[in-house]
Each structure stands twice: as C-alpha cells, then as structure tokens.
Structure 1
Amino acid sequence: MIRQQSFSRYLSSNRTLFSRRASNTRRRRIAVATLVGATVLLAAALQPAKAAEGPASVPGAASAASAAPAPAAANTPAVAEEMVIRTMGPVSYVCGGIAEDQRAKLAEKEKNFNIGILFSQGANSEFIADVDVKLTRDGQTVAEFRAGGPRCLIRAPEGSYNIEARYKGQPKTIKVSTGTRNAQLRW
C-alpha cells in the first residue's frame, strides 16, 4: 500500500494550495494575463485597418515630401516613406511619387506594371493625391482605391480600361490600354 504524501511539505508554512492568499495571487495573474492578451489582440486588430487606410493615415509619418521642392507640396498629404503594392482581385497597384526618393522607387517598379497614370491640377500641372480611382472594364468595376500620391502604377490583365477618377468632387475619365504608362488626368 502506497501512502499519500502531503503537498504542504512543498509549500511554505504560511501558504497552502487553496489559501486565500494563493487564490488572490492567481486571480491577479489571470487578470494581468487577460489584460496583456486583450492589448495584443487589439493592437493586431488595428494594424490591418491602418494598412487598409493607406500610408497617408499613419500618424507622424511625414516624409521628405514637405521639404522636397516638388510641385504643389502644400496640396499633398503626409505620406509614409514606403509605398505598398496592394492587390484587388486580378489588379495590383501602387501609388506615390511626391518626394524624389518615391519617384525613383516608382521608376524602378514601373517595369512590373502595365499601366501608369499621373494626377495633377492647374496650368502648372501641380501634383495631387487623395484621388478616388475606379478602374472598369466592359462596364464592370475591376478595382477601386484612393491614390496616396500623384503617380499610380497598375498591373491588370491585358485589355482596355476606363479610369474614372474623382478629386474634390470633380470627376474625370480616361480610357487606357495595357502598355500605357504615361496617362495623365488633370483637373
């Protein structure tokens, strides 16, 4: 016959496994772990929302755009330094080009895209951003996004597309075919 041994020899003399002090300690640890877990989940849930809103919505992400002598720098929002390629169905796109380094990055990426468009305004062709873009083909919407910069590169299946853009409530439309990399919409 095996004799059971007490747990009390493993615990300090003033604490037992089911003492009030041990229960309170466990409750505190569970509460702290719950708070840490909730914070991590909340942070993870907010991260994709920021990415979906685009780089212009990231607080404190002002780049060299405000210091660059690019045309109409006052009319363009603060943009994160890294331009993200986004995909919507069969279409991928990236927008940027306010600062000189962004224009250079877009020029490097241009060979991977088959449509390019530039948004500007006025007689001096000042760059603009925050343009709502809708890409349609045969009356069907293929992609919709907000341009975070004046230059957008688009990769789409071969064919002709209508680009419907809206800036400050004013619509503009242009018809482009794949292979067109220098289309421009001016308000």
Structure 2
Amino acid sequence: MVLSVPALAADLTPQTAGPFTYVCGGVAEDEQQAMRAEARNYDMGLLMTEGPRGEYLSDVDITLSRGGKQVANFRSTGPRCLIKGPKGTYQVTADYQGNTKRTTLSAGQRNKQLRW
C-alpha cells in the first residue's frame, strides 16, 4: 500500500531523509504563511540566513548526526526547514558554499538560526 503525503500550500512537499520528515521553504509570503501554519506538525526547525541583515539562504547542505553517526542529510530548498523524527538531540552540520556552521538541535527547538 502506498501512502501519499499531502502537499502544503505554495507547493511545499514534505520529503524524507533517514528517519526524518522535513519541508523547506519560506522565501515568498505565501510560503512563509504555509510554513507558519505547518510548524505545529513538526518538532524541530532551522533558519538559514546570511549577513548582518539576515538575508534568507537556500541550497544549504544539512547533516544531522547523533552519537557521532550521521542519521540524515538533505539540501534545503529554502531558508526555513521544519523537521520531525525520533526524539533526541542532534548535531547539525550545515554547509553553504564551502563554509560550515555547527549547532545542536533538540525537539521543541523550531527556530534555530544558522547565520553565515
């Protein structure tokens, strides 16, 4: 049996990476509204920005690790990524054009910002 995942407004379709489901977007106003509405269904989130004015970034390579082992990786298609998966604390490695940022992310953290 194949289960279909409903698409969000503004064509934000949930994806999977390892045991995680995620959706990225949030550049245009309609995407931002859709992401805000969908946030309650996800327990973690990242926001990627650049520079002093916090300009939005996409095409960031994201890797989630736990206990030193990679558990998921994906490329963001927008500045905000909503993530749900197994409860726990994860090490996030985010690479944008060869520059790497690291942080930790736990359930309940829906607006963890990475700034280049």
More strand by share: 2
**Are 2:28 and 1:99 aligned?**
yes
**Partners of 1:174 and 1:88 in 2: CA distance:** 19
Q: Tell which structure's C-alpha radius of gyration is larger.
A: 1
Deviation string, structure 1 residues 77-128 (Cα, Å, up to 9, x no partner): xxxx411101123111000000000011111110111101100010001001
**Are 2:14 and 1:85 aligned?**
yes
**Partners of 2:115 and 2:68 in 1: CA distance:** 23
Unaligned runs of 5+ in 1: 1-80
| Candidates 158, 179, 184, aligned match of 2:87 | 158
With normalisation by structure 1, the TM-score equals 0.56
Amino acid at match of 1:183: K
1:13-92 aligned within 5 A = 81-92=10-21
Deviation string, structure 1 residues 139-170 (Cα, Å, up to 9, x no partner): 11111110000000000211100110000100
**Partners of 1:100 and 1:154 in 2: CA distance:** 20
Structure-1 residue corresponding to 2:49: 120
Q: Percent identity?
A: 44
**Partners of 1:172 and 1:126 in 2: CA distance:** 16
More helix by share: 1
- Kindly tell me the number of residue pairs found equivalent between the two proteins: 107
Unaligned runs of 5+ in 2: 1-9
Runs of 4+ in 1 over 6 A off after TM superposition: none
Higher relative contact order (CA 8 A, sep 6+): 2
